[in-house]
Amino acid sequence: MDEERALYIVRAGEAGAIERVLRDYSDKHRATFKFESTDEDKRKKLCEGIFKVLLKDIPTTCQVSCLEVLRILSRDKKVLVPVTTKENMQILLRLAKLNESDDSLEKVSEFPVIVESLKCLCNIVFNSQMAQQLSLELNLAAKLCNLLRKCKDRKFINDIKCFDLRLLFVLSLLHTDIRSQLRYELQGLPLLTQILESAFSIKWTDEYESAIDRNGPPLSPQETDCAIEALKALFNVTVDSWKVHKEGDSHQFRVMAAVLRHCLLIVGPTEDKTEELHSNAVNLLSNVPVSCLDVLICPLTHEETAPEATMLDELPSDKTAEKETVLKNNTMVYNGMNMEAIHVLLSFMEKRIDKGSSYREGLTPVLSLLTECSRAHRNIRKFLKDQVLPPLRDVTNRPEVGSTVRNKLVRLMTHVDLGVKQIAAEFLFVLCKERVDSLLKYTGYGNAAGLLAARGLLAGGRGDNWYSEDEDTDTEEYKNAKPKEELLKPMGLKPDGTITPLEEALNQYSVIEETSSDTD
């Protein structure tokens, strides 16, 4: 009934009446995502009627009402089949200021029309294969990049940037060809990185270092949403970038990694938004060539080198670390390097472990990132070793028992999900410089058996990668307990079915054989 009344007014009414009836329809169906199949034909005709109205010279407020209803109706894939034409797509491109002839964004009154047009395009492109093909034909990716360049430094049009970026993300998600076009032809990597710089209001203090205002306000909701969309689009653009072939590429990835370091050190308007922001930053960092991740740590600034410092081993016992790691003016420092970003990643990882669910999607990206960082960068590995595997003092409890990060990771080594337990074991193995004896010391033989069997290291030894020969000193507690540990003792079954040390079991079977021979 709603569609029938709206269709009648759209076909025969004047602009004011059309605006009123469509506003009523939009208010009523704003939260509608499932539609009755009985009214499908009417919805198709209403879409067609709205496109015809959008061709006319109507007030901006009427355009917005038309586009709001079109956005709602475009949630239904079946409705889009007859209305997804090149002509209709071009109407939306024109209203979204995506035509190349539109060279300015001066009329603030037009911004709601641009935003609603972009929202419609997001739905239509996502739900319609025909629209996806037309997007290629109309070179939509290039038009979206052009619009971004017009507004990249203008904060008051964040909504336009946000939905432009979302549509760019959808396109690059659905078409691998568009990813390549964005990366090389359209220079999407520097463009999207600059969008992030603008969202974070970054001020550079060196080539790859930015100023962090620890007392500054959190990001606004609009800035956070814009940054998240840019991070998602960048992920698609860089998804195959595990190798750097040119010096210019290396520089651009380092700039992006420095922007992501800044991202990790700021917060959003809420805790959930901060986690979402950091989660997308972690995903994108996983695409950065590992050789470029050295910018995640940096030498201390003049302010950070002030004399005020605290040894971490003077903090509570759950924060104990080796003396190389100190706090200077609330900055995490290791070997003269600022480790704040790595510490944020470690805290993020622990929060994901504590959630206890969705480990494959939520935990493995950050674990993989920390593993590769540790393997490639000595200072990062040594800092993480301090934090995750501090000098072993508790030698009475099993490695998986307790609430430290080490205990939590050791528990993951026997997780039911193969991917989760493999990456958890790999991370700890790398922190131990791929030395079997060191891994066993911190995790126990049973927990490490899966990784060692897969590597062919059950008999001991070390992995294939080379690490520096810095010492791994043992605590007095461990030295005293080590002779009593008996980590691995061969066991066998006695004739009565009970378990006993292998040597004793063999002796008992020998006695039985001798007795049997005498009887014969």
- Winning range, highest mean pLDDT, from 183-187, 237-241, 390-394, 464-468: 183-187
- Is 298 inside any structural domain? no
Q: What is the DSSP string of 116-151?
A: HHHHHHHHHHHH-HHHHHHHHHTTHHHHHHHHHHHH
- Is 301 inside any structural domain? no
- Is 517 inside any structural domain? no
Examine the domain organization and report whether 119 and 184 are in the same domain.
no
pLDDT exceeds 60 at position 312: no
pLDDT tens digit sequence for 32-89: 888 888 889 999 999 999 999 999 999 999 999 999 999 999 999 989 988 899 999 9
Domain hosting residue 128, numbered range: 1-138
Examine the domain organization and report whether 59 and 181 are in the same domain.
no
Number of folded domains that form the chain:
3
Look at residue 379 and give its three-state secondary structure: helix
- Is 97 inside any structural domain? yes
pLDDT exceeds 80 at position 247: no
Q: Where are the alpha helices (DSSP H) in 289-396?
A: 340-355, 359-362, 364-376, 378-388
Tell me the pLDDT band of 2, cut-offs 50, 70 and 90. Answer: confident
User: How would you class 354 by CB atoms within 10 Å of its CB: exposed for 0-12, middle for 13-18, buried for 19 or more?
Assistant: exposed
As a whole number, mean pLDDT of residues 107-129 equals: 93
Examine the domain organization and report whether 54 and 110 are in the same domain.
yes
pLDDT exceeds 90 at position 514: no
Examine the domain organization and report whether 340 and 477 are in the same domain.
yes
- Is 28 inside any structural domain? yes
397, containing H or E segment: none
- 9 CB-near residues (< 8 Å, 6+ apart): 17, 18, 21
* Number of residues in the chain: 520
Task: Count CB atoms within 10 A of the CB of residue 229.
Answer: 23
Domain limit, last residue, from 110, 138, 166: 138
Examine the domain organization and report whether 221 and 121 are in the same domain.
no
- Nearest CA to 90 out of 45, 129, 51 is that of 51
pLDDT tens digit sequence for 129-162: 999 999 999 999 999 999 999 886 565 688 999 9
Q: What is the pLDDT of residue 311?
A: 46
- Is 148 inside any structural domain? no
φ, ψ of residue 298 to 5 degrees: the values are -155, 155
Tell me the pLDDT band of 167, cut-offs 50, 70 and 90. Answer: very high
Sign of CA dihedral 152, 208, 263, 331: negative
Q: What type of residue is 379?
A: N
Examine the domain organization and report whether 75 and 206 are in the same domain.
no
Examine the domain organization and report whether 16 and 127 are in the same domain.
yes
- Is 346 inside any structural domain? yes
Examine the domain organization and report whether 472 and 392 are in the same domain.
yes
Examine the domain organization and report whether 16 and 112 are in the same domain.
yes
Reported pTM: 0.85
The tokens for 334 are 């290791």
Examine the domain organization and report whether 424 and 349 are in the same domain.
yes
- What interhelical angle do 111-127 and 60-73 show, nearest 10? 20
Examine the domain organization and report whether 125 and 66 are in the same domain.
yes
pLDDT tens digit sequence for 183-226: 999 999 999 999 999 999 999 999 999 999 888 899 999 999 99
Task: Count CB atoms within 10 A of the CB of residue 311.
Answer: 14
Examine the domain organization and report whether 271 and 357 are in the same domain.
no
- Is 81 inside any structural domain? yes
Range with lowest mean pLDDT among 108-122, 244-258, 351-365, 414-428: 244-258
pLDDT exceeds 70 at position 407: yes
Q: What is the DSSP string of 461-487?
A: -B-SS-------PPPHHHHHHGGGT--
CATH code of the domain containing 131: 1.25.10.10
Largest CA distance in the chain: 114
Give the separation between CA 328 and CA 333, rounded to whole angstroms: 7
Domain limit, last residue, from 287, 303, 319: 287
What CA dihedral angle connects 133, 135, 138 and 144, to 10 degrees?
A: -160
Tell me the pLDDT band of 303, cut-offs 50, 70 and 90. Answer: low
C-alpha separations of 413 from 169, 408, 454, 464 in Å = 35, 9, 13, 21
